[in-house]
Amino acid sequence: MSFSRRRLLTTTAAGLGAASAGPFFIRDLRAEDFIKVAGIHDTSGGLDIYGKQMVATMDLAVNEINAAGGLLGKKIKLINYDPQSNIQFYTQYATEAATKEKVAVVHGGITSASREAIRPLLKRFNTLYFYNTPYEGGVCDRNIFCTGSTPAQTVEKLVPYVMKKWGKKVYTIAADYNYGQITAKWVKKYTQDNGGEVVQTDFFPLDVTDFGPTIKKIQAAKPDLVMSALVGAAHISFYRQWAAAGMNKQIPLASTTFGNEVVITSPEEHNGIIVAFAYLEGIDTPVNKAFVETIHGKYGIPHMTELATMTYHGVHLWADAVKKANSIDRMKVIGALEAGASYSGPAGKTTIDAKTHHTVLDVYIGEAKDKKFNVLESFSQQAPADTAAVCDLKKNPNDNKQYVIDVKT
Amino acid sequence: MDYVIILALQICSAVASLVLISLGLAVIFGMMRVINLAHGEFLMLGGYAAITAFNKGVNLWLAMLVVAPLTVGLFGVVVERLVIRHLYGRLIDTMLATWGLSLAMIGFVTVVFGNTVSGISAPLGSLTIGAYRTGAYEVFLIFVALVLLAAGWSVLRYTRLGLIARGTMQNAGMAAALGVSPSLVYAVTFGIGAALSGLVGGLLAPLSGVVPTIGAAYIAKAFITVISGGAAILSGTAIASGLLGTINTAATFAFTPVIGEVALLIAAVILLRILPQGITGRFFRRAL
Amino acid sequence: MSRVLPMAGNLAVLLVGLGVLFGLPAYAETYLIINATIFASFAILAVSLALIWGYAGILCFGQAAFFGLGGYTYAVAAINFGDTTGAAVLAVALPAMFAALLGYFMFWGRISDVYLGVITLTVSLILYRFVNQTAGEEWNIGQAPLGGFNGIPSTPILNWPGQPGEQLAPENIFSLAVGLLILVYFGCKALLATKFGRIVVAIRENETRVELLGYDARVYKLTIFVIGGALAGLSGLMFANSVFVSPTMFSLPVSGQIIIWVIIGGLGTLIGPVIGCIMMQVLTNWLGTLNQVPGFGWVDPNLVLGVILVVFVLLVPRGLTALVSDTYGWLAQRLRSRPPTAEPDAAAQPETAP
Amino acid sequence: MTTPILETRGLTMRFGGVLAVNGVDFRLQEAELRCLIGPNGAGKSTFFKCLTGQLKPTSGEVLFRDQNIAGALSYAIARHGMGIKTQVPSVFDGLSVRENVWLAAARVHPGRMAERKAEEAMQRVGIGHIGHRIVGQLAHGQRQLVELAMVVAPEPDLILLDEPAAGMTDDEVDRLVELIKELNKSHALVVVEHDMQFIRRVAKTVTVFHQGAILVEGDVADILRDARVRDVYLGKQAA
């Protein structure tokens, strides 16, 4: 398949293109003055709560790089697409970014489904791709860098911590999709490894809002702690109904997903919940304090999550690699990133793991307290052990799939 | 024994919650043969009204019980005048228009409030039943559902408004015969239906929180409950809620929440196949 | 209106269709080809509802059920078979069979109107719920994991019949989608011109009378419903080849979107919904590129779509096609009646005496 | 004694507590023309609906050509050879007159034949000149004629006409009377009508319905002199 012969007739195509993407084609006249970078994040629809802050941090990172003189003597031009929480638009915008805008890199995707929609496309069109969301792990593809944490990195630290604190009998509730399913398996594995027992695991579709029956089932099971991997707006109801039943005073909660929920729930509902992420707003470093201040102030985002902070790290990791490679050529940049690229920012130090194209990152255990998370303990430079068990891009550079990680319990 | 009580309570709670989320829709459907697909967003708006008022310093109960229904009721009257009025007798068109309205409301609320509005905690604390605890507020909602049904029944049975309403349910021309303009009856009905939705939206906010898209979680269930119930506003809704709520909860306890949900949906499909006009289309035809 | 106009219309549609089919791949950029492929797959879906709602009067609130079923059948079968040809056939056949079952259940139960709407809606919700919770390994069908919320990202692309491994290139998928759309469009036109098609339209007008004339309306409704289901399945197959299958294919917003295309384009026409579909796709696609500055200036697509829908139902209830032809008729009349009298209303009055 | 084309035995239709049709025994011979009269609400239209399958009778038998069709579906009864013009014209408002009649003819005749039969039926009823018009835009009387043409086109054995003359002009009524007489040469007909002038012009035998049952049956002249019949109608008027 050759797309190049069509360039000859681009003028005609621009006319047709104007119908579906009017505002863009005028800017193309001066395209060579910029290095174009695309962000594809849902800023409307059900996922906008994350998408908006990811767009903000991406904008911040790009502005910082431009203020410091840009890259290779050029300014970065950021093109944002809003796929409206609809997979179909990911396909369309990724194709547009790669083939029409010819961007140097695409950052984006929130759900795993959206990542898997655009990953093969961007590989086909030879466009570098950064996915900055914590996810279930297992993606093995040399064209993508996954900067978010995976369950093994966070669950491994969280489970022993809360078991030591609260007890050995665990009840798991998780969102019913790949991420929740795999997280639940890791919870089970680490609980057993630490001499405990998961008495029950319940899965909830992402639109369930009524947790009454479950709360009663949990009471009947009498666990020492509840491990939550609930996700999304509907599932916030669980924390409310849990507190309304007075259960938050009875059985403690731990989670690897309770993040932005801290803004939406009240202190009575969330105080005491213990979480583990690769980033928490309460990280006590000057870099993070400045970062949080800018995001709150200039961008009006009330609370920063790992997704948005890792997006910020991701953009900087890419920019540093471009400088090092002295080129935006995809293979050269990948080479520079694989050569142990590392960035220290608000989330601490993030290092690219060449074998998996995931990151070695700092993990923080924190406690929700009055709409914030206090850092209780931090673990520096945790390797992506789960993906590493199935993926070795040094050995198999042509690998191109998401492995299902077999969690041995 | 405790477990049986708690199970029974949970079933009551599920039934009450179906009654609550369906009632506003049922009033509008029963009286006007209008399916308001923006019903979920009316509930959402009630939640936002209550929370906004509360955050502005209004007493929580006042915010939920007065501000929410008033706001949404007024909004309903405006919607009726601007949109619904032009579409009477065109069931499908009203469904489409109210659906457009629902999308627009989601968009509008997102633009105005964003999507990180803090919720309010449920008041009243918790109850202890043997070894179990449950939210006192959930029990309060069961009580509210009963009160609303009883109040609705009394109004329909004993007041002049109820007489007019019953007349209109039987025959749209009846209101005119009673010397009341049907246009006024419709505006008032839609307003009352909307106010009920607002009230319920306000009451549910402490349990479900508010996000612009929360309406989607309610509308399908409310729609299915009302249509399964049939034309009689109160008894239809109550019976359908009782049946579907019990099936849902029993299946959730026995299996998983998904199976509970699917059991509810399958029950509704079978019900409609057996009784194509809904429960009260066949039985209890003269009920309210 | 004379017979000349519809003929000219068909010819125009055919020319535009063939122009896109052969013109676009030669001139347009890749992203336009991909977009056009998705538009064409959806346009087939629009035709499927235009047929059963616009002509047979069956308002199906769950057309997405057949769409999703088509996509999933294709993905699961293609992963298991290796060769995709059989999978493609199944992707049309299985939704058709499902439509036959559901249609039998509804039409033999004499369910119509809003009750039919609720049942179709509920059935699509059941499928949505079911597929959404299939993330676990116990939900593998043969080689194919159903994948739950994430769908089946590894949906195979169609291969040339009999040559597994020889995948169709994006241009081929595009040609297939547009070619199928043209076929489906004229196929439906031809179908509606037959005796069967005319009886189906008569059922929409007055089902009781059709029965009193001795036609079993249920059989006709079931047949057209099955055809609609098969077309929706075909659309799902093409969508699976241009994006991939995920549970959102079954979701309420998808069903809703189809209804919006039909109402905006014009109920009771075939070309209207196709135009409505493409217009709405272009519009939502464009809305997603507007938010260039974070922090302010968000245009919420929901708000725009909602307002459009309300405005159309209130002011343009017969859709764009009717608006265009009415405007054309009005202009023609203005031009013709200019010399002696300019009172077109007066001439139209006497016919409607009570 | 010849076998009747239509016979009902104890035909009963109950709606909740109301007996709309109450144990009706009715007989109609081949090629007979019968008029049904009775005050509003006497059960005439309900009786028709039980015959055509639009309603499923609560009890009783309907023998059409010796076959019990009680409870059968309308389309099956129509295929058996029964045609009805309903009280409120039941036509396809969105379609042209020609399409309306063609749909009726096409059930029995294939292809070109259907078109010819439809054309014939339109001529017979006198609507040949308005074949291109959309039915929804016609006056009430004309819509009645369209429905009549639809009943005639497939040439059923038994024709039921529910208030065919309502809303017609004098000219149209004249043509209707001619048509009914002509149809009666080869078809059996049952006609419900209120207009006594009309009844006098077409009827030989009349059946009077009252409160869901047959009050009296007989020759048209006798019936119209019958005191009970007058009471029924006058009582209605007095109330």
Residue D103 near residue D49, CB atoms below 8 Å: no
Residue A121, pLDDT score: 87
Residue C172's closest chain A neighbor by CA? A1
β-bridge mates for residue A365, sequence order = A276, A377
d(Cα C314, Cα C341) in Å, to the nearest integer?
32
Interface test with D, best of C213, C221, C267, C352 (most D CBs within 10 A): C213
Mean pLDDT of D166-192: 86
How many angstroms separate the Cα of A182 from the Cα of each of A9, A87, C86, C130?
Answer: 49, 22, 33, 19
Low-confidence ranges of chain C (pLDDT < 70): 1-6, 291-299, 337-354
Give the domain range for residue B7.
2-209
Q: Could you give the CA distance from residue B85 to residue A234 in angstroms, rounded to a whole number?
A: 34
User: Which pLDDT score is estimated for A255?
Assistant: 92
CATH topology of domain A151-277: Rossmann fold (3.40.50)
Per-residue pLDDT, averaged over A303-313, amounts to 91
Window 31-50 of C: residues touching D by CB (8 A cutoff) are none
Q: Does the beta carbon of A305 lie under 8 angstroms from any beta carbon of chain B?
A: no
Contact predicate D147/D91, CB 8 Å: yes
C332, with CB counted inside 10 A (0-12, 13-18, 19+), is exposed
Average pLDDT estimate for A237-243? 87
Measured between CB atoms, does C201 come within 8 Å of chain D? Answer: yes
CA distance between the termini of chain A: 46
Strands D205-210 and D4-15: unpaired
- pLDDT of A357: 92
Can you tell me the distance from the alpha carbon of C231 to that of C251, in angstroms, rounded to the nearest whole number? 18
**Which tens digit of pLDDT belongs to each residue from A60-112?**
999 999 998 888 888 899 998 888 878 888 888 998 898 888 899 999 998 88
| Residues B277-282, mean pLDDT to the nearest whole number | 67
CB-based contact D107 C217, cutoff 8 Å: no
Number of helical H runs and strand E runs in chain D: 9, 10
More confidently predicted of C335 and B177: C335
Of A45, A176, A243, the CB nearest to B121: A243
Sorted by where each begins, the domain ranges of chain A are: 4-149+284-362+381-402, 151-277
Model pLDDT, residue A23: 40
Task: Mark yes or no for CB contact C306/B106 under 8 Å.
Answer: yes
Chains that touch D (3 or more CB pairs under 8 A): C
Cβ–Cβ gap C209/D90 under 8 Å: yes
Chain A 93-112, residues with CB within 8 Å of chain C CB atoms: 93, 95-96, 98-100, 111-112
- Residue B251 inside a domain? The answer is no
CB-based burial label for C13 (10 Å; 0-12, 13-18, 19+): middle
What fold is seen in the domain D4-81+156-238?
Answer: Rossmann fold (3.40.50)
Alpha-helix runs per DSSP H in chain C:
4-27, 30-49, 63-81, 85-107, 113-132, 170-193, 195-205, 207-212, 217-242, 252-265, 271-287, 301-315, 319-336, 344-348
Is C342 exposed, middle or buried (CB count within 10 Å of its CB: 0-12, 13-18, 19+)? Answer: exposed
Residue D92 contacts C where some CB pair is shorter than 8 Å:
yes
Asked whether residue D19 carries a pLDDT value surpassing 80, the answer given is yes
Confidence of residue D97 (pLDDT cuts 50, 70, 90): very high
Q: What are phi and psi of C298, to 5 degrees?
A: -70, 125
Contacts of C282 in chain A (CB under 8 A): 19-20
Compare all CA atoms of chain A with the CA of C133 and give the residue at the minimum distance.
Answer: A176
> What confidence tier does A10 reach under pLDDT thresholds 50, 70, 90?
very low
Q: Identify which of C225, C279, C266, C253 has the alpha carbon closest to the alpha carbon of residue C68.
A: C253
Q: What is the 3-state secondary structure (H, E, C) of D151-167?
A: HHCCCCCEEEEECCCCC
Q: Which residues contact C39 (CB under 8 A, 6 or more apart)?
A: C277, C278, C281, C282
A405: DSSP letter: P
Quick one: which H or E segment has residue A39?
Answer: strand A34-40
B252 touches chain A (CB under 8 A): yes
**pLDDT (tens digit per residue) in B105-123:** 888 888 787 766 667 777 7
pLDDT at A25: 41
Pairs from A162-167 (Cβ < 8 Å, separation ≥ 24):
A162/A225, A162/A227, A162/A252, A162/A254, A162/A274, A163/A191, A163/A194, A163/A196, A163/A224, A163/A225, A165/A252, A165/A274, A166/A224, A166/A225, A166/A252, A167/A196, A167/A224, A167/A225
Is A365:A114 a contact under the CB 8 Å cutoff? no
pLDDT digits (tens, 9 = 90+) for D42-77: 888 889 999 998 888 889 989 988 889 888 899 999
DSSP string, A169-185: EEEEEEESSHHHHHHHH
pLDDT band at B284 (very low <50, low <70, confident <90, very high): low
Domain with CATH 3.40.50.300 in chain D: 4-81+156-238
Q: Are A326 and A72 in contact (CB under 8 A)?
A: yes
> What are phi and psi for residue A358, nearest 5 degrees?
-100, -170
Contact D93 C211 (CB under 8 A): no
Q: Token digits for D149?
A: 């043409």
Give the one of C115, C126, C300 whose C-beta lies nearest to B227's C-beta. Answer: C115
Decide if D144 touches C, using CB distance below 8 A. Answer: no
Q: Which residue of A has its CA nearest to C153?
A: A116
CB contact under 8 A, C291 and A80: yes
Which of A47, A181, A217, A240 is the best residue to mutate to test the B interface, defined by the most B CB atoms within 10 Å of its own CB?
Answer: A240
pLDDT band per the 50, 70, 90 thresholds, residue D218: confident
Contacts of A200 (CB under 8 A, 6+ apart): A171, A172, A217, A221, A223
B35 or C340: which carries more pLDDT confidence?
Answer: B35
Neighboring chain B residues of A45 at a CB cutoff of 8 Å: 213
Task: Give me the number of domains chain B comprises.
Answer: 1
Interface probe with A: pick from B118, B219, B253, B265, most Cβ of A within 10 Å:
B118
End-to-end CA distance of chain D: 43
pLDDT above 70 for A17: no
Question: Measured between CA atoms, how close is B38 to chain C, in angstroms?
Answer: 11
| CB < 8 Å to D94, chain C | 201, 204-205
The residue of chain A with its CA nearest to that of C34 is A92
**Predicted local confidence at residue C5, as pLDDT:** 59
Please tell me the distance in Å from C33's CA to the nearest CA on chain A.
Answer: 10
Please tell me the distance in Å from C27's CA to the nearest CA on chain D. Answer: 44
Cβ contact D–A (≥3 pairs, < 8 Å): no
Q: Is B80 on the interface with A (CB under 8 A)?
A: no
CB-CB under 8 Å, B262 with C310: no
The answer, for B78 touching chain C at a CB cutoff of 8 Å, is no
Cα–Cα–Cα angle for C8, C14, C16, nearest 5°?
Answer: 100
SS3 (DSSP) at A201: strand
Which amino acid is located at A351 in the chain? Answer: T
Token pair for residue B143? 């009580």
Looking at every residue in chain A, the average pLDDT score rounds to: 84
Contacts of B273 in chain C (CB under 8 A): 105-106, 109, 111, 119
Residues A384/A152, Cβ–Cβ less than 8 Å: yes
Q: How far does A324 lie from chain C, in Å, by closest CA?
A: 29
Neighbouring subunits of B (3+ Cβ pairs under 8 A): A, C
Q: Nearest CA to CA, how far is A262 from chain B (Å)? A: 9
Q: How high is the pLDDT of residue D15? A: 83
What DSSP assignment string belongs to C162-203? T-TT-BPPHHHHHHHHHHHHHHHHHHHHHHHHSHHHHHHHHH
Tell me if D78 sits within 8 A of C211, measured CB to CB: yes
Query: Considering only residues 19 to 38 of chain B, which have any Cβ-Cβ distance to chain C shorter than 8 Å?
Result: 35
Contact C213 D93 (CB under 8 A): no
Beta strand A253-255 with A225-229 is: parallel
| pLDDT given at position C276 | 92
Owner of token pair 């038994």 = D158
CB within 8 Å: D107 and C215: yes
Partners of B126 in beta bridges: B135
Q: Which residues of A touch C286 (CB under 8 A)?
A: 20-22
DSSP assignment of B83-105: TGGGGTT-HHHHHHHHHHHHHHH
C212 to chain D, any CB pair closer than 8 A? The answer is: yes
Q: Quickly tell me which residue has 């369309």 as its tokens.
A: A92
Q: Are B237 and B28 in contact (CB under 8 A)?
A: no
Contact between chains at C29 and A13 (C-beta distance less than 8 A):
yes
Instruction: Give how far Cα A275 sits from Cα of A368, C81, C240, Å.
Output: 8, 45, 38
Residues 6+ apart with CB under 8 A from B274: none
Tell me if C150 and A178 make a contact (CB, 8 A cut-off).
Answer: yes
Residue B147, pLDDT score: 92
> Domain spanning A4-149+284-362+381-402: which CATH class is it, in words?
alpha beta
Interchain contact A237–B (C-beta under 8 A): yes
- In chain C, residues with a C-beta closer than 8 Å to the C-beta of B87 are 313-314
Tell me the whole-structure pTM to 2 decimals.
0.85
Q: Which of C24, C129, C239 minimises the CB distance to A205?
A: C129
Q: H or E segment at B231?
A: none
- Identify whether the C-beta of residue C64 lies closer than 8 Å to the C-beta of residue C251: yes
Q: Token digits for A42?
A: 């849902």
- A vs C, Cβ pairs < 8 A, gives 160
Model ipTM value: 0.82
Element (H, E) at B177: helix B174-177
Angstroms from B269 CA to nearest CA on chain C = 6
B275 interface with C at CB cutoff 8 Å? no
